[in-house]
Structure 1
Amino acid sequence: MIKSVFNYPISTLLDIESNIIYSIPRYQREYTWGKPQWERLFDDLVENNSGYYLGSIICINQSQDAITIQDLEVVDGQQRLTTISLLLAAVYKALKSKQSLTDEENFELLKLKNKLVMRKDSKQPRLIPQVQNNNQLDYFYVLSLTGILEEKDCPSNAGNRRILRGYRYFLEKIEQYASENGDNDSFFQLLLDRVNSATLVKIEVNNHSDAYTLFESLNNRGVPLTAIDLIKNKLLSQLEKLEPGSIDDNYDSWKKVIEALGDDYNVQERFFRQYYNAYRSEIKNIVLVPIATKSNLMQIYEKLVNHNPKKFLNDMVRLSKIYANLINQNPVEEIKLRNLLQSLERVQAAPSYLLLLILFDKKQSLQLENHHFEKIIDFLIRFFVRRNTTDLPPTRDLTRIFMDLAENCLLKQGDEIVRFIETQLSSQSASDEKFKNSLSSQIYEENKAICRFVLCSLEEEQMTKEREVDLWKVQGKQYIWTIEHIFPQGENIPADWVKMIANGDKYLAKSYLNSHVHQLGNLTISGYNSSLGNKSFAEKRDREDNNKRYVGYKNGLFLNNELKNENEWTIEKIEKRTKFLVSLILKKYSLVSV
């Protein structure tokens, strides 16, 4: 994985004949060199002894011939190298500005110049920043101010950007230190010694995949570089080589991909994994990996990007729009389809997105209409309610199941695809008996999300327009309507509940708490959970707000129809209500085609 590791003094590192080319930075628009680093670098060099350690950089060196000038693509350490180069340029300018130079100082000038431009071509800077946001123009302009490069026009607004401001900061600090110490020659010699002897560890790897693996192992500072960062870096770098000057347009296209997927990195990464897994049969001539995982993601996309970067970017823009529909980042216009996709997301059916991604993308050639997708998604919801309740099929098998479905669906059309999906998933789903047993157990303890989903779905099924309530409304980061335990779930069982549930027997009440409190029959939905808590059953049932509106079990919800007329709550009634709710769920989430 690692090609080489060297601990270099700066003087040695920048004497090696190589082009140091910037990979596209992690957050392109925000790519800046912060003033605190300018101050820190200068003060650290001046105040510490020789050999000060400046950290490490990671480069990709794909050169095959060690004799020729090598191109080193920097994927970590861009800011550090730029700051060092700006300091070297400022030292060169300050030293050159002296009225008279000794032979030794002229030799130092030449060495400084050779650290900033190639020895064999003095017009070629060693450091080549990316062109985005005028970074390259600004840096080359700084070198022209020193006289190292031929005179260049000042880029518009360069004085307000970080590169020129950093260079001027170093010039001011050099002048300030020199005047304060009163001995320019001694100070220049001290500064040159500290700059030349400061060390960097340069780590070379062969490709972006190795760079990502190394980053995962070494980087514990702040926000780590991710696989998505490196995919972007690789893509924009390749496109810039093919189409010099196109980086702004290509970066804007990449931004559309990320904006479509949203800010959640887990969703972004899942999209890239699921793209490969969905289209594997079509791209196996480019890269043949059995299944995309977090660990091999960079390996896969390095090959895809190398093969055809422009097509890859266009594909990502198109497919990320579809994915945004699937995850409701950009909900579809059709109301029924939108509601089904929302339910699919709520039932934790993310593994099915790889199938839906390719079906929506190829819906025209597969002769799929909205009514087909409505049937498919409705069936997927039923499948995942059962799967997430029973854990069958197991999680480890889900990606492979949906990859096989995606590949085989491409050989079918229309209604045939719908029937094929239903048949294949039904054969791998839990039996009705297994589903019933799981529903009858302590479902809330096993899977709170599924428990909430099935309770809300039963309630929504009975709603009228006059009594319509948004059970999924969120306030802050929490649902307003939450699951309420009728027999309280707290370890400290209130005395009136011990009396009602176990005739005053604390040990029996504790036993019932462990065996029945999380069953469906003991659960309902409340928008006022905190106001009910450990109150007695009668208080929960008859609770009113300040406006005399019922907020307890007389609130009009279907799930509370039985509770509103009860005078007590017992284990027998929990078991009876559990059987009733289980029967409704079994019917609602049957896998028999409807």
Structure 2
Amino acid sequence: MDVSSTIFQPIFEGVKQYVVPLFQRSYSWNKKEWLTLWEDLKELYDSENPRQHFMGSIVTIPAKSVPEGVAKFLLIDGQQRITTVYLILMAIGDLYCERGEQEKYEEIKNIYLVNPYKHGNDYYKLLPTQIDRSAFKRIISSPQEKIEHGMWEAYMFFKRKLSLNIDLDRIKTIITTKLSIVSIVLDATDNPYLVFESLNHKGKPLSVADLIRNYVFMNIHVDHQEDIYNDIWKPMQDRLGDTIPEFVRHYLTMNGDYINTGDVYNVLKERIDKVGVEECLKELEKYSKFYSIFLNPEKEKNEKIRKELLILKRLDISTSYPLLLNLYNLYSEGNISADEFEAMLCVIENYIIRRFVCGVPSNQLNKVFPQVYIQMKKIEKGSYLDKLKTVLQAKNYPKDYDFRENLKTAKLYGNGDRIKKTKIILDRIEQSYEHKEMSDLDELTIEHVMPQTLTDEWKIHLGDDCEQTYELYLNTLGNLTLTAYNSELSNGSFRRKCEIYKDSHLDMNKYFQNIEKWTAYEIKKRAGVLASKILKIYPYFGETISGRDIENVTGTKPYSLIVLGQEFNVNSWTDVLFYTLQVVSDLAPDKLELIENDYPSLLGRRADLFRRPKELANGYFYEAGLSAVHIYNFCKQLVNIMELSQDEWDVAVVNS
């Protein structure tokens, strides 16, 4: 490594070229940086005895060049400064030309800007990165032709400044002899990438995408970089854009490893060092085509696969992409048919929807999905579809009895992605009717039959326990439907809503034709009907396991409650509610405030808010005067909030 202090004149003189590597960022200086540089230059210009002005450092490394005779240097750091000074010299030269001082124009051009006896790219003393190259060449050949690029804007900024009674000879001398820099020239044996790591560590921000691109092209000979960039990297970059880092992470986890976002570039370095950069790039480019289809399913040619990929995109489960990359590769190589691949995508949808309805935490899916394909390969017999089902069944896949109960009791409509997932469930229900003239479901929205704002008319309609009914059933499946008339329906009465549902083209809304009132009983009944349909839409794909399913708690007496392996002897549904709340209070006290906000008529810190208050150990009170049905539904929703399965919360009953 050679470190020296120098000025700009020797940097540009001679038959040489500074190549901004393809992995570098594009030109990014703007008016703020231009103005700062101009003010520094103007201060030197106005001084009788201008001092040396330190501009910073540049880091270069000699590169093997073809043809011989042009000394090439990779410009590892300092490209923004070098490029801007180059543009100023271009502006000075063009002003010389416009003023008829042709000799001075030729001098500045041939000494500082170009290698006059070389051709092609070797003609230019500075060769920007591929992204900037065409704009850069146009500025040199046709500087008056406006183009939308930061380099042209910089060129024009300085040309305007230089036109304001500036002595061009003096400003040229100041630029070439009074701007000092520290030149760091690495040896051919030095690892330039370590410089990037050092620069990033010292606070010059390099994104993960920068780091990936840097390391890839640092390992490719400069003479091959452009071909590989054009043939492999650019097509991949055009497909994926800013998603390249996440794609690389998903690609690296295809073999079952879990990789944090911050570790992507280190793991990729290890992969490149192991298999070689070109082989790794070719594989990345191959899988980027699949990944692009996941991001833009409309690119998929097979209609059935395209529709299912659109559903998976709406589900927003990018955590499944490592598995999907493996499965799409099987499909693209002809190892599975289009029908089998579509069926596998449906299995993944089934898995996600059941877990969502049953409140299974999704924060572990980024560790679940990368392992699936590896475990599939360990199963010797069966189709790929059967192997996928076998593996997913063992990964917290809800059983029928759990799924059915949560379909009837869980709050499906809510914040975050809950609305998107619930909309998919409702869409699937409508599609299951196989209507010959299917409506455009994308144009429909979710409608609450019992409205989100409880009007006085609705309070009378619901009866004495209207607040409890509202809190327990508002966002459950039985109270949700699809409509194109959400604004017209709004908080209207049930009778008014039924009149609009009657004119609906949706089969699911025909249910309301003979319904005269809408209370907790009717909501639960419709939930049961819809749950039966959903169980057929998303059938259990493993070995059937029987479990207890309480169809109607009215007229039953509980005698045993199990919560997370702890058994409580209970004599009433009020006991079930007390012990369930007590466990929630002990294990997740932070969730009590959330529960209080969502169920203010059932849980709170003031006893006077309840008809029959009962106190928990932590000072909270709850409404103990609830019916068995309300208690059961409240407990099931608490279980969902706690993200427990029915195996972890179970109540045994007898008919009283």
Normalised by the length of structure 1, the TM-score is 0.67
Q: Deviation of residue 574 (structure 1)?
A: 1.4
Out of 42-51 and 440-449, give the one that drifted further: 42-51
Q: Deviation of residue 72 (structure 1)?
A: 6.7
Q: Which has the larger radius of gyration?
A: 2
Q: Which residue of 2 aligns with 1:231?
A: 212
Q: Which residue of 2 aligns with 1:78?
A: 79
| Alignment-mate amino acid for residue 254 of structure 1 | W
Q: Which residue of 1 aligns with 2:179?
A: 196
Residue in structure 1 matching 2:460, options 499, 502, 527: 499
User: How far does the alpha carbon of each residue in 1:120-179 deviate from its partner, in whole angstroms, 9 at most, with x for none?
Assistant: xxx99996634666479959x98xxxxxxxxxxxx6x57757769966875774464435
Q: Deviation of residue 532 (structure 1)?
A: 1.2
1:128–1:136 Cα contact (<8 Å) kept: no
Provide the rounded CA distance (Å) in 1 between the counterparts of 2:317 and 2:352.
6
Provide the rounded CA distance (Å) in 2 between the counterparts of 1:82 and 1:593.
63
Q: Which residue of 2 aligns with 1:210?
A: 197
* Residue 23 to residue 592, structure 1, CA distance change in 2 (3 Å): same
1:89–1:116 Cα contact (<8 Å) kept: no
Q: Deviation of residue 13 (structure 1)?
A: 13
Residue in structure 1 matching 2:227, options 246, 251, 255: 246
Provide the rounded CA distance (Å) in 2 between the counterparts of 1:592 and 1:513.
35
User: How far does the alpha carbon of each residue in 1:400-438 deviate from its partner, in whole angstroms, 9 at most, with x for none?
Assistant: 332222224345689432222111111221333433343
Provide the rounded CA distance (Å) in 1 between the counterparts of 2:367 and 2:419.
26
Provide the rounded CA distance (Å) in 2 between the counterparts of 1:331 and 1:563.
40
Q: Which residue of 2 aligns with 1:222?
A: none
Q: Which residue of 1 aligns with 2:367?
A: 400
* Residue 188 to residue 460, structure 1, CA distance change in 2 (3 Å): closer
Out of 236-245 and 480-489, give the one that drifted further: 236-245
* Residue 512 to residue 199, structure 1, CA distance change in 2 (3 Å): farther
Residue in structure 2 matching 1:300, options 258, 267, 292: 267
Instruction: Point out where structure 1 has 5 or more consecutive residues left out of the alignment.
Output: 64-68, 100-108, 118-122, 143-154, 220-224, 281-289, 473-479, 544-551
Are 1:462 and 2:430 matched, yes or no?
no
1:159–1:165 Cα contact (<8 Å) kept: no
2:27–2:132 Cα contact (<8 Å) kept: no
Provide the rounded CA distance (Å) in 2 between the counterparts of 1:560 and 1:57.
71
SS in 2 for 1:525: strand
2:9–2:176 Cα contact (<8 Å) kept: no
| Alignment-mate amino acid for residue 22 of structure 2 | I
SS in 1 for 2:447: strand
Residue in structure 1 matching 2:390, options 423, 427, 435: 423
1:228–1:269 Cα contact (<8 Å) kept: yes
Q: Which residue of 2 aligns with 1:487?
A: 450
User: How far does the alpha carbon of each residue in 1:69-106 deviate from its partner, in whole angstroms, 9 at most, with x for none?
Assistant: 9977546x6334310344468789999x9x9xxxxxxx
* Residue 403 to residue 170, structure 1, CA distance change in 2 (3 Å): closer
SS in 1 for 2:475: coil
Q: Deviation of residue 188 (structure 1)?
A: 7.5
Q: Which residue of 2 aligns with 1:151?
A: none
Provide the rounded CA distance (Å) in 2 between the counterparts of 1:592 and 1:528.
37
Q: Which residue of 1 aligns with 2:410?
A: 441
Provide the rounded CA distance (Å) in 1 between the counterparts of 2:199 and 2:314.
33
User: How far does the alpha carbon of each residue in 1:42-71 deviate from its partner, in whole angstroms, 9 at most, with x for none?
Assistant: 5322456899999988979899xxxxx997
Are 1:275 and 2:251 matched, yes or no?
yes
* Residue 209 to residue 319, structure 1, CA distance change in 2 (3 Å): farther
Q: Which residue of 2 aligns with 1:450?
A: 421
2:24–2:210 Cα contact (<8 Å) kept: yes
Provide the rounded CA distance (Å) in 1 between the counterparts of 2:51 and 2:290.
54
Q: Deviation of residue 560 (structure 1)?
A: 1.6
Residue in structure 2 matching 1:43, options 38, 61, 79: 38
Provide the rounded CA distance (Å) in 2 between the counterparts of 1:405 and 1:425.
7
1:379–1:591 Cα contact (<8 Å) kept: no
Provide the rounded CA distance (Å) in 2 between the counterparts of 1:431 and 1:39.
65
Residue in structure 2 matching 1:22, options 16, 20, 23: 20
Q: Deviation of residue 270 (structure 1)?
A: 3.2
Q: Which residue of 2 aligns with 1:512?
A: 469
1:239–1:246 Cα contact (<8 Å) kept: no
SS in 2 for 1:296: helix
Q: Structure 2 matches for 1:315-330, cutoff 5 A?
A: 315-330=283-298
Provide the rounded CA distance (Å) in 2 between the counterparts of 1:400 and 1:24.
34
Residue in structure 2 matching 1:576, options 510, 525, 528: 525
2:315–2:420 Cα contact (<8 Å) kept: yes
Are 1:389 and 2:357 matched, yes or no?
yes
Q: Deviation of residue 587 (structure 1)?
A: 3.7
| Alignment-mate amino acid for residue 385 of structure 2 | V
Q: Structure 2 matches for 1:64-103, cutoff 5 A?
A: 73-74=75-76, 78-87=79-88
Provide the rounded CA distance (Å) in 2 between the counterparts of 1:58 and 1:512.
71
* Residue 386 to residue 358, structure 1, CA distance change in 2 (3 Å): same
Q: Which residue of 1 aligns with 2:553?
A: none
Residue in structure 2 matching 1:567, options 516, 525, 531: 516
Q: Deviation of residue 397 (structure 1)?
A: 3.2
Provide the rounded CA distance (Å) in 1 between the counterparts of 2:213 and 2:350.
37
Q: Deviation of residue 460 (structure 1)?
A: 0.7
1:62–1:207 Cα contact (<8 Å) kept: no
1:324–1:330 Cα contact (<8 Å) kept: no
Q: Deviation of residue 12 (structure 1)?
A: 13
1:553–1:564 Cα contact (<8 Å) kept: yes
SS in 2 for 1:524: strand
* Residue 414 to residue 13, structure 1, CA distance change in 2 (3 Å): farther
Q: Which residue of 1 aligns with 2:539?
A: 590
Q: Which residue of 2 aligns with 1:255?
A: 234
* Residue 310 to residue 488, structure 1, CA distance change in 2 (3 Å): same
* Residue 590 to residue 42, structure 1, CA distance change in 2 (3 Å): same
SS in 1 for 2:517: coil
User: How far does the alpha carbon of each residue in 1:349-386 deviate from its partner, in whole angstroms, 9 at most, with x for none?
Assistant: 43333223123324477832223223322221211111
Provide the rounded CA distance (Å) in 1 between the counterparts of 2:72 and 2:331.
48
Q: Deviation of residue 481 (structure 1)?
A: 0.6
Identity, % of aligned pairs? 20
Provide the rounded CA distance (Å) in 1 between the counterparts of 2:279 and 2:262.
24
Provide the rounded CA distance (Å) in 1 between the counterparts of 2:362 and 2:9.
53
SS in 1 for 2:261: coil
Provide the rounded CA distance (Å) in 2 between the counterparts of 1:291 and 1:209.
26
Q: Which residue of 2 aligns with 1:341?
A: 309
2:193–2:214 Cα contact (<8 Å) kept: no
* Residue 131 to residue 80, structure 1, CA distance change in 2 (3 Å): same
1:483–1:526 Cα contact (<8 Å) kept: yes
| Alignment-mate amino acid for residue 228 of structure 1 | A
SS in 1 for 2:481: strand
1:238–1:309 Cα contact (<8 Å) kept: yes
SS in 1 for 2:253: helix
How many residue pairs are counted as aligned between the two chains? Answer: 502
